[in-house]
Amino acid sequence: MTKPEVKNRIEQLRKTITKHRHAYHVLDKQEISDAALDSLKHELYILEQQYPDLITADSPTQRVGGKPLREFKKIVHARPMLSMEDVFSFDEMNAWYARALKLSKQNSLELFCMVKLDGLAISLVYENGILKTAATRGDGKIGEDITLQAKTIDAIPLSLRELSEKDQAEFSAKYKHKLGRVPSRVEVRGEVYFPLKAFNEYNKKQKKDSKQVFANPRNAAAGSLRQLDPSITASRPLSFSAWDLIADFGLRTQEEEWSALSMLGFPTNKESKLAMSLFDVKQFFDLELSRREKLDYWIDGTVLKINDNSVFEGLGVVGKTPRGLIAWKFPAHEATTVVEDVQWFVGRTGALTPVAIIRPTSIGGTVVKHASLHNMDEIERLGLKIGDTVILVKAGDIIPKVMRVLKELRGQNAKPIKFPSVCPSCGAKTIKRDGEVAISCSNKNCPAKDHARILHAARAFEIDGLGDQIVLHLLEAGIIRTAADVFKLSTPDLLELDGFADLSSKKLIEAINAKKTIQLDKFLIALGIRHVGSQTAGILAQEFRTLDKIRKAKAGDFDKLEGVGEVMSKSVFEFFAHNENQHLIDEYIKNGVVVNNYASKAGKLQGKSFLFTGTLKNISRVDAWNLVKQNGGKISETISKNIDYAVVGDGPGSKADKAKKLGVRILNENEFFSIVGK
């Protein structure tokens, strides 16, 4: 064949392979055998090897890719990957629905129902139709780059399917309006999972070969995707199901997004339904609960989302969860076991937490040896004694907890659980603070507190390799006392510890030195201030912008912060009022830690908020966002009367109409450029 003929054959093969991939993964139709499809793939591979200049990024041969990575790079999500509120009963679901009705001022709401796949959530970004990046959820704001690994999953399209005239006609006939042009940037979110049949076969082969087996499909999916070597990911039969489409081209409802995902080439879960009433929702929930064991994948509940996109967006977000979305979870996995002992552990604030040591038992596919008891009040509520048989519950991948004591099975040797009068670590007296349930160690210098504080800081700084035992040995050897001391460690310090060689010592020191620069909100988390989590740290960082301003703030400065309650503001003020804590910060800085100021920059758009809808001709959505942020403005994903500008491109969605009704100033692309001075 001549090169033009080869090129033509390659294009035909790619189109045919992609067509059959779409038929199999999206339409559930197997039009040719696996062997025939493999034959086509092999022919394509041979031709591309002969003509490597004809290889493209979206070719089916590029799924198994690349050399092993040294580490995962980070990817910042353009829009945070938020979590969902969980409910566990019809009454709780009904209460959520009632709140949504009240807040949205609607008489009724259609709900789009889908099953909640139990796998690993990922984000896929396509630019000009080609898969550009794939990332894990991470902390919701920043995930790990798994692009090479995602490309090995056959159910994930390497390029978006072009919408045909037939697609457009069917869409218009069903939804009574036309689709806009697919924008240059499309983000799709979904779940990577390990099908049960494939999982069981894989484990069977691993066991036969005397190799490690996975505990459950969820762990298998997560472990397979987070492989630095993509060929390992490729060797495992993972699948993918899309559940969210972030691309503004005229989609008005979640049901329409579901249809568009299929048209673009993505598999969506067939277990979905548009519910017109709560009776429909309950019917869907009961049906999926009854058939969960018959499905070829794990599900742990149903997801309910307000179908109307404008209503959903108008409800906004509270904390880290959208108001228009919930997960109605199935009854948690349960098991019975015997409590053999109760141990008390000291946390970074000094609070003592009881943990039940239980007879090892399997629950939800995992063998567990410990269970949460929360505090002494919970032990008394349960009426728990050592030796009791208990019902153990594992819900939402949290540490199992003791739900109920089967007192009818209690033996004569059952022993009461004693409230510790002294700290199990240092022997100091325990105290109970006013208004708190937990008891605490009274010793400010308790080594267990130090140990927990340092581990907490190491996690906030994201220092690889600084684990539990290493911190313990460093404390016992007197090499460190505080988390700040970690940053003055040297290779000779580590060589004093058993088990450390020259190479491993240098590697850990390099890991520590690489993390000496930290963002302000992360540093506030690292300080371990009581009641301050990632959300409150973010509010403090955005409000004060520099560490110095926070250190010098007065009590009233914290009280007036929106989203920071009285208890939290008091805790923050008291932390910075203590000379010991100010000294700790000084030690961090002395040891080379650099705390970056809040990233937002002042500029001509300072305090102004922008919303974008539709496709812009001369700039991508992400670049437009960056222009706003560089000039001190803010980006909003939801429309409200508090938005200053709505930038409207081609094929805008319902946001444009709502912006007009709310009196928000509408800008076209040229007017936007004029404001930002580009």
Residue carrying the six token digits 């999206």: 26
DSSP string, 27-92: S----S-HHHHHHHHHHHHHHHHH-GGG--TT-GGGGS--SPPSSPPEEE-SS-----EEE-SHHH
How far is Cα of residue 495 from the mean position of the Cα atoms in its chain?
37
> How many CB atoms are closer than 10 A to CB 36?
11
CA–CA gap between residue 652 and residue 516 (Å, rounded): 44
CA–CA gap between residue 237 and residue 155 (Å, rounded): 10
Strand arrangement of the beta sheet that strand 272-275 belongs to: 85-87, 325-329, 299-306, 111-117, 272-275
Residue carrying the six token digits 């060689």: 501
Structure tokens at 232: 């390992």
Any residues with CB less than 8 A from the CB of 429 and at least 6 apart, and which? 421, 422, 423, 442
Q: Which of 29, 116, 166, 655 is catalytic?
A: 116
Strand duo 142-144 + 185-193: pairing: unpaired
The kind and range of the H/E element at 671 are helix 669-676
Query: Three-state DSSP class for 610?
Result: strand
Catalytic residue check, 197: no
Q: Dmax of the chain from CA atoms?
A: 89
Length of the chain: 678
CA–CA gap between residue 209 and residue 186 (Å, rounded): 42
Query: Strands (DSSP E) along 59-204, which ranges?
Result: 74-76, 85-87, 111-117, 120-127, 130-136, 142-144, 185-193
Q: Which conformational region is residue 677 in: left (phi greater than 0), alpha (psi within -120 to 50 degrees), or beta?
A: left
Q: How many helices (H) and strands (E) does the chain have?
A: 25, 28
Contact 195, 237 (CB under 8 A): yes
Active site positions, annotated: 116
